[in-house]
């Protein structure tokens, strides 16, 4: 962890990508006695998380910063219409569940729809 000095401004970015390895490795051949048409598509999550932070002076004192405003962007990058339900954002370093989203649920249906980018924000006091 870097020390924060009075008068300095720093940006903190973390980019995380969620992915899964396909667990179904069954192979279907045309010579199988009970051959049927079958498409075995691997499960590919299409959810993205970007976390960034910027320091600021929440107490109004001159020449320093005492807080970090973290912004989380959760997006659905699905190209096949996949919808995510019950999205919960947690960060154990910031106390657990991050309340939100503060914006981005364009149709207010509580589902992370394709193309939506939900924004969460949380202030953290530097001690």
The answer to whether the CB of 82 falls within 8 A of the CB of 39 is no
pLDDT band at 28 (very low <50, low <70, confident <90, very high): low
Mean pLDDT, range 79-90, rounded to an integer: 90
Q: How confident is the model at residue 92 (pLDDT cuts 50, 70, 90)?
A: very high
In a domain, 116, yes or no: yes
Query: In whole angstroms, what is the distance from residue 112 CA to residue 106 CA?
Result: 9
Task: State residue 18's pLDDT score.
Answer: 44
* Cis ω for the linkage preceding 101 (within 30 of 0): yes
User: Which range has the top average pLDDT, 54-58, 98-102, 123-127?
Assistant: 98-102
Residues β-bridged to residue 93: none
Which structural domain range is residue 55 located in? 12-21+49-78+101-127
Tell me if 91 is assigned to some domain. Answer: no
Tell me the C-alpha to C-alpha distance, in Å, between residue 97 and each of 79, 89, 106: 28, 6, 22
Query: Residue 61: inside a domain, yes or no?
Result: yes
Task: Tell me the pLDDT band of 37, cut-offs 50, 70 and 90.
Answer: low
User: Total domain count for the chain?
Assistant: 1
* 25: pLDDT strictly greater than 60: no
Q: Give the percent of the chain with pLDDT over 70.
A: 62
User: CA-CA distance, 93 to 115, in Å (whole number)?
Assistant: 28
Q: Is residue 83 part of a domain?
A: no
29 in a domain, yes or no?
A: no
pTM assigned to the model: 0.64
């Amino acid at each position: 962890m870097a020390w924060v000095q009075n008068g300095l401004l720093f940006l903190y970015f973390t980019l995380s990508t969620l992915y899964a390895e396909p667990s179904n490795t069954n192979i279907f051949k045309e010579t199988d006695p009970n051959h049927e048409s079958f498409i075995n598509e691997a499960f590919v999550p299409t959810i993205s998380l970007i976390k960034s932070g910027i320091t600021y002076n929440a107490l109004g004192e001159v020449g320093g910063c005492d807080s970090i405003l973290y912004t989380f962007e959760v997006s659905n990058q699905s190209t096949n219409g996949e919808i995510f339900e019950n999205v919960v954002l947690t960060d154990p370093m910031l106390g657990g569940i991050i309340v939100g989203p503060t914006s981005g649920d364009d149709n207010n249906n509580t589902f992370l729809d394709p193309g939506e980018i939900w924004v969460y924000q949380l202030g953290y006091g530097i001690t």
